[in-house]
Structure 1
Amino acid sequence: MEDRVHEFWEEYLETLEARPARPNVEIGIAGNEAIADELLELYLSGKKTAGSGLVKDYELAGDELPKVGNYWIILNSKGEPKCIVKTIRVEFTRFDQVTEEIARAEGEGDLSIEHWRKAHVEFFTPYLKDWQISNLDEETLVTEFYEVVYK
């Protein structure tokens, strides 16, 4: 971890009565640089309590799928740590079967499934060819539900 990120994590650990054993800690921005600060503000305000990604993206990148108990240190677009969230629930859903609960928990736009779908189609579309996805609706989505544990 970068020094400031490591310090931020240590500051969080000092607030706990017991340190987590072997925590899985991810570090990064939410979304991409263009929307990172906007999404970060949604986490900080409590409006965003979930995030979704395609299972195929995780598999192709060789990354483990999210698990309950994982931590994520969310950076702003300048790479500065601003909060830590902990995964409290994980759900798998087909893209075309996303629920209102997921759309609301993601906290974006008017919180509707229609907005969620439009935003995620726009976000994923540039990568579909590389991921060899021809029908996004048939892809499996993994949604992590979070709680902010430190800011």
Structure 2
Amino acid sequence: MPLDYIASYWNQFIDSLKEKSSPDLELCGSFHFGGKEDASSIAKLVTAGIKTATGSLLWVYESENNPIPSIGEFNIITDSNEMPVCVIQTKEISIVPFKEVGTKFAFDSGEGDRTLESWREIYWEYIQSECERINKEPTMETPLVCEYFKVVYAEPFQF
């Protein structure tokens, strides 16, 4: 995907703001949820307001020398074709061992049947895959970065 699509969508979002005198907002980055094959279906959950939370491995941020998400940051969510779908803003961050993630977070993650059992099954596969990639051993204590976000812009991309 050409990076100019991301930049164009960000500009489209900025242009949509009613209060032009607001402080300069900065785009943190762009990404898709799940694997590339699932990105479009998960993006639909986000824009529908069903998925308002996501989890990622703290160890991945550490191994890649990347900061964890920050409250207030903006990111563009893309679909399976890497096209921009919406802009989200991070609202809350906590670091929780896998085994301590609760039913509310599982429900707010919006995937599967939204139960804790379904969430644990989906995320355990993700944890195993990511741990294998970074040479870590997954356990029930694996630290997850639990993030709540809200969609702040979801207009179609204007070419």
Superposition TM-score, scaled by structure 1 size: 0.92
Tell me the amino acid that sits aligned with residue 98 of structure 1: V
Counterpart for residue 68 of structure 2:
65
The 5-angstrom pairing of residues 57-136 of structure 1 reads 57-136=60-139
The correspondence for 2:53, drawn from 50, 54, 76, is: 50
Counterpart for residue 44 of structure 2:
41
CA shift digits 1:5-49 (9 cap, x unpaired) = 111101111222144446252112112202111110100111000
Contiguous gaps of at least 5 residues in structure 2 = 155-159
SS at match of 1:137: coil
Tell me the number of residue pairs that the alignment of Structure 1 and Structure 2 aligns.
Answer: 151
Counterpart for residue 13 of structure 1:
14
Residues 131 and 20 of structure 1: CA distance in aligned 2, closer, same or farther (over 3 Å): farther
Residues 124 and 20 of structure 1: CA distance in aligned 2, closer, same or farther (over 3 Å): farther
RMSD: 1.6
- Between 1:11-20 and 1:57-66, the stretch displaced more is 11-20
Residues 53 and 71 of structure 1: CA distance in aligned 2, closer, same or farther (over 3 Å): same
Which stretches of structure 1, 4 residues or longer, exceed 3 Å deviation after superposition?
A: 18-22
Counterpart for residue 3 of structure 2:
2
Identity %: 27
Alpha-carbon distance in 2 for matches of 1:3, 1:117: 37
Superposition TM-score, scaled by structure 2 size: 0.88
Counterpart for residue 157 of structure 2:
none
